[in-house]
């Protein structure tokens, strides 16, 4: 049986960081939330428009339907437009603010039982059993130390064979987004 | 437990100690983190928005003499706004505490003993699995409560918790003074829960 042996050195670019933030949010937000928001948004917009056309007895009613349509549109587009744009903007700003930390070179080492990431200011070497989950996003691998904190590597930093090895290393802790 | 204590600011190491955080201390720290950078951030503004929305809806309902059959949506929006107002003011904080406890339980590292070295320009946190070096210039918030110091900053707004249980009285005072002088804009002391303090 082939042994797992990955050793890569990489830098995190702003694009990597933004991609990671999008993958992270994708993981943390349940799919049901998105469906509920879309359904609620559609219902609110439909109700608002129908009421606006048919029931206009007072100015208060018109204001009420107008507010309903605005809320509906906001809720409908929240996870598809507003949230990703917001995440990208925040991630980009955060990267610029923390460039001294993020522009350090990171070295990744994965063997059969250990996961190790080192940089000038941070080192972690934990046995596989201490990892909470390993998530494969669209552009990143996220190694969770607990249910909240994780370390990530951009997918571009590893080749296809190494991706397979990471999946093998993750075993039952592996989740694909 | 205590290895070295130095009040001399010119020496490189200010103090060093072993630190072990308990679940309730971490939960409290996470609650503080959530207030600063998490969902609870700006909760006053958010709850105020929903409070104003509730008032508007109430005004519309009053103008329509509470005839719910005419404007049922107003009543629904009023109820949702009132819930959201309460959610941001009270429920979210409780949720953050529970989440902090959940994170602590899910981690194999947070409950381990860490060795802290407080240097003049940075501090290091080390145990057999992890090593973190954090400069004070990276710290965005340094909060002191009666039980803990919470240092927030660095990559992904990492949270470092120092439990005062693990410090001597002198060390606690020294750290308090040092953080206050080193992180003037970031340091905050929460109001003491004990009377007369």
Instruction: Return per-residue pLDDT of chain B as tens, 197 residues.
Output: 444 444 444 558 889 999 999 999 999 999 999 998 888 888 889 999 999 999 998 998 888 777 766 677 788 889 999 999 999 988 999 999 999 999 999 999 999 999 999 999 999 999 999 998 888 988 889 999 999 999 998 766 789 999 999 999 999 999 999 999 988 899 999 876 654 43
Assembly ipTM:
0.78
Closest residue, chain B, to A126 (C-alpha): B129
Residue B68 main-chain phi, psi, to 5 deg: -65, -25
Any chain B CB within 8 A of the CB of A68? yes
Q: Within 13 Å of residue A49, how many CA atoms lie on the same side as its CB?
A: 8
Work out the number of other CB atoms within 10 angstroms of the CB of residue A121: 18
Closest residue, chain A, to B132 (C-alpha): A122
How many CB pairs lie under 8 A apart between chains A and B? 80
Return the residue matching tokens 């303090």. B197
In chain B, which residues have their Cβ closer than 8 Å to the Cβ of A149? 103, 107, 156, 158
Of chain A, the percentage scoring pLDDT greater than 70 comes to: 99
pLDDT of residue A166: 93
**pLDDT tens-digit series, residues A116-140:** 999 888 899 999 999 999 999 999 9
Any chain A CB within 8 A of the CB of B5? no
Note whether A124 contacts B103, CB cutoff 8 Å.
Answer: no
Mean pLDDT for A66-77 is 92
Nearest Cα neighbor of B134 from B115, B114, B118, B110 is: B118
In chain B, which residues have their Cβ closer than 8 Å to the Cβ of A129? 108
Nearest Cα neighbor of A88 from A24, A164, A160 is: A24
Note whether B131 contacts A101, CB cutoff 8 Å.
Answer: no
| Residue A85, min C-alpha distance to chain B (Å) | 17
Residue A110 main-chain phi, psi, to 5 deg: -130, 125
A97 vs A154: which has the higher pLDDT: A154
Any chain B CB within 8 A of the CB of A151? no
pLDDT of residue B194: 54
**Coil, strand or helix: which one is A140?**
strand
pLDDT of residue B1: 42
In chain A, which residues have their Cβ closer than 8 Å to the Cβ of B77? 64, 67-68, 71
Of A60, A146, A148, the CB nearest to B64: A60
**Which run of H or of E encompasses B149?**
strand B148-153
Nearest Cα neighbor of A90 from A17, A153, A172, A151 is: A17
Any chain A CB within 8 A of the CB of B90? no
Any chain B CB within 8 A of the CB of A176? no
HEC sequence for A31-88: HHHHHHHHHHHHHHHHHHHHHHHHCCCCHHHHHHHHHHHHHHHHHHHHHHHHHHHHHH
Residue A122 main-chain phi, psi, to 5 deg: -145, 135
**pLDDT tens-digit series, residues A26-64:** 888 888 889 999 999 999 999 999 988 888 778 878 888
Query: CA angle B114-B120-B126, nearest 5°?
Result: 15
Sequence-separated (6 or more) residues with CB below 8 Å from residue A172: none
Please give the model's pTM, rounded to 2 decimal places: 0.82
CB A158 within 8 A of CB A134: no
Any chain B CB within 8 A of the CB of A175? no
Q: Could you tell me the CA-to-CA distances from B61 to A68, B52, B64, B76 in Å, in that order?
A: 15, 14, 5, 11
In chain B, which residues have their Cβ closer than 8 Å to the Cβ of A101? 138, 154-155
Of B63, B106, B134, the CB nearest to A60: B63
């Amino acid at each position: 049986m082939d042994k797992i042996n990955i050793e890569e050195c990489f830098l995190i670019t702003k694009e990597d960081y933004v991609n990671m933030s999008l993958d992270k949010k994708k993981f943390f937000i349940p799919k049901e939330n998105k469906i509920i928001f879309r359904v609620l948004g559609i219902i609110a917009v439909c109700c608002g428009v129908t009421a606006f056309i048919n029931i206009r007895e007072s100015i208060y009613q018109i204001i009420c339907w107008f507010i309903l349509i605005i809320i509906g549109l906001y809720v409908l587009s929240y996870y598809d437009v507003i949230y990703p744009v917001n995440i990208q903007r925040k991630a980009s700003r955060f990267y610029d603010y923390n460039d001294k930390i993020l522009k350090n070179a990171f070295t990744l080492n994965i063997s059969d039982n250990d996961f190790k990431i080192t940089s000038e200011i941070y080192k972690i070497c934990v046995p596989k059993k201490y990892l909470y989950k390993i998530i494969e996003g669209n552009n990143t691998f996220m190694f969770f130390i607990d249910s909240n904190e994780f370390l990530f590597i951009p997918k571009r930093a590893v080749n296809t064979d190494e991706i397979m090895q990471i999946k093998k290393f993750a075993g039952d802790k592996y989740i694909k987004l | 437990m205590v290895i070295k204590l130095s009040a001399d600011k010119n020496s490189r190491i200010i103090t060093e100690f072993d630190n072990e955080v308990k679940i309730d201390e971490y939960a409290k720290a996470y609650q503080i983190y959530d207030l600063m950078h998490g969902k609870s951030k700006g909760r006053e503004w958010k709850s105020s928005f929903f409070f104003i929305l509730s008032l508007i809806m109430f005004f519309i309902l009053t103008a329509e003499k509470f005839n719910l059959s005419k404007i049922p949506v107003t009543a629904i929006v009023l109820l949702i706004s009132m819930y959201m107002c309460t959610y941001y003011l009270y429920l979210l904080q409780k949720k953050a505490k529970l989440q902090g406890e959940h994170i602590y339980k899910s981690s194999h590292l947070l409950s381990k003993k860490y060795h802290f070295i407080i240097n003049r320009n940075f501090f290091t946190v080390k145990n057999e699995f992890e090593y973190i070096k954090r400069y004070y210039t990276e710290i965005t918030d340094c909060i002191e409560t009666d039980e803990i110091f919470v240092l927030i900053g660095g990559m992904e707004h990492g949270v470092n918790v120092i439990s005062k249980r693990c410090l001597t009285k002198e060390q606690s005072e020294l750290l308090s003074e040092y953080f206050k002088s080193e992180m003037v804009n970031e340091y905050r002391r929460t109001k003491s829960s004990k009377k007369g303090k």
